[in-house]
Amino acid sequence: MYYKFVGLVLALCAVAYGLPSAYDTENVWVAGNLSYPFPSNAILGGFDPYGYKIYVGRVKYSSDILPARVVAETGTANFNTDYTSSKAFLYDLLVSTGNNTYGWARSFDGFYEKNAVSVGTSAKSEPTYICRAKTDGGIIFGTLYLTKKLCYIKSDTLSMRTFDKYEVLIKE
C-alpha cells in the first residue's frame, strides 16, 4: 500500500511540475542558423523596416516557445514576449512540404482562427500563435496569446506595439 501511495504522489508531482512548454509537431520545422543552408521552402512572414524579408521561425526562451522573425542574410532570429524582445542565432524555420500551404487570415481580439499555426506553448501551457501587422514601415509578425487578445510586436529598433486587429498565420 505504501508503494502505491508513493507512486501516486510522484506521478502527481510529475504532472504538476512537468515542463509546460512544448513544441508544435503538426507542422514541419527545420533547424536553422547562419551555418546551415537556408531552405528554399521557408515560409515568408513579412518585411522588416529595412526591406529584408522575414521568415517564420520559432525559438525557445526560458520556458516559452515563441515565434521568431528570421532574416536569412544575417542569420538572426528576433523574437518577443509580451514585455521584452531578444535575438537568437539558433532557431527552427517553418517550411512547406507537399500539399502544405500557408496564408494569413484577418483576425481580432484573440479570436481563434481555424487552422491557426501555433509554434508551441508558453510556460503556462497556453498555445503561442503567429500574428502580424503593418508597423513602422514594415509588415512584421510577433506573438499572439489568445487569452490576452492582443498581438505583441517588438524588436530591438521598435518600441513595444500591441494590436487588437492583426493577421494570423494559418495552414490552408
**Straight-line distance from the first to the last Cα atom of the chain, in angstroms, rounded to the nearest whole number:** 53
Q: What angle do CA 48, 30, 93 make, to 5 degrees?
A: 15
The string of pLDDT tens digits covering residues 142-167 is 999 899 999 998 866 667 889 999 99
* Per-residue model confidence (pLDDT) at position 20: 57
| pLDDT value of position 156 | 62
Residues facing 60 on adjacent strands:
65
Predicted confidence at residue 133, as pLDDT, reads 94
Contacts of 133 (CB under 8 A, 6+ apart): 139, 140, 142, 151, 153, 161, 163, 165, 166, 167
* Contact between 100 and 43 (Cβ < 8 Å): no
Residue 131: all three cell numbers together: 500574428
Domain ranges of the chain: 22-171
Task: State pTM to two decimals.
Answer: 0.83
Q: Tell me the C-alpha distance between 56 and 167, whole Å.
A: 14
Helix (H, G, I), strand (E, B) or coil at 108: strand
Predicted pLDDT at 100: 84
Q: Do 91 and 57 contact (CB within 8 A), yes or no?
A: yes
pLDDT at site 165: 95
DSSP character at residue 107: E
Residues in the chain: 172
pLDDT beneath 50, residues of the chain: 1-19
Residues 36 and 69: beta-carbon distance below 8 Å? no
Query: How far is Cα of residue 108 from the mean position of the Cα atoms in its chain?
Result: 18
Instruction: Burial-class residue 3 by CB neighbours within 10 Å (0-12, 13-18, 19+).
Output: exposed
pLDDT value at residue 23: 85
Q: Which run of H or E residues covers position 4?
A: helix 2-17
CA distance 75 to 90: 9
